[in-house]
Amino acid sequence: DNLLGISWVDSSWIPILNNGSVLDYFSERSNPFYDRTCNNEVVKMQRMTLDHLNQMVGVEYILLHAQEPILFIIRKQQRQSPTQVIPLADYYIIAGVIYQAPDLGSVINSRALTAVHGIQSAFEEAMSYCRYHPSKGYWWHFKDQEEREKTKPKAKKKEEPSSIFQRQRVDALLLDLRQKFPPRFVQQKPGEKPIPVDQIKKEPEPAPEAVKPEEKETVKNAQSAGAKGPPEKRMRLQ
């Protein structure tokens, strides 16, 4: 089992922890880090001193470093001979709380997972700001940019006046549409209800007055005289 995520403490031992009692504190039966099949348990049951551990073979616990009263480091090792041991694990006690020190592989694995998680989170956040449109392509759209655009006063766009060519073309198009689709209702005065075109009464056109033939001759003579001008004026011009 992985014991790197747990800790153990017995508050009754904290006031009396020192170099001589720390191994007894570590060998408590409720301590999950302690192996009861170790040589320390055999020495304890036979009431021998810790110096006999050098003459035995197997798993044992030793006090590696002490900084009273706050820090103690205990090592678990495999003894093969009085002069040859293989370290298995290290445990540190800070203010009476026992932790297992992580090995190099666990440290590298944890740092690598932390870095990968940070990169993945940054990539996902960056992808949430990415936008794409077939006509525009790719661009970035940030949330703070939306807030700036909302708080920024919008400048009124100046309407450009239409040119003469545009007005003439619009008038021609409207006239063409009017001829193709004549209006069915007409509003004679503003504010009045529109009236169908069929109900509008057409005023009768005035009949041409009868002109006597004598009057027609006088009118023709007057028109010809007006075109030629008076004879006196013509003589003066010559």
| Span 9-64, pLDDT tens digits | 999 999 999 998 999 999 998 999 999 999 999 998 888 888 888 889 999 999 99
Check whether residue 70 and residue 123 sit in a common domain: no
Structural domain boundaries, residue 122: 106-140
pLDDT band at 2 (very low <50, low <70, confident <90, very high): confident
Q: Do 207 and 221 contact (CB within 8 A), yes or no?
A: no
In a domain, 115, yes or no: yes
In a domain, 92, yes or no: yes
d(CA 197, CA 192): 14
In a domain, 169, yes or no: no
* Domain total of the chain: 2
Choice between 204 and 62, residue whose per-residue pLDDT is larger = 62
pLDDT band at 179 (very low <50, low <70, confident <90, very high): confident
In a domain, 45, yes or no: yes
Distances in whole angstroms, Cα of residue 190 to Cα of each of 99, 102, 201, 202: 92, 91, 19, 20
Check whether residue 36 and residue 120 sit in a common domain: no
Check whether residue 85 and residue 125 sit in a common domain: no
Task: Check residue 236 and give its pLDDT.
Answer: 47
Q: Give the three-state DSSP class for 80.
A: strand
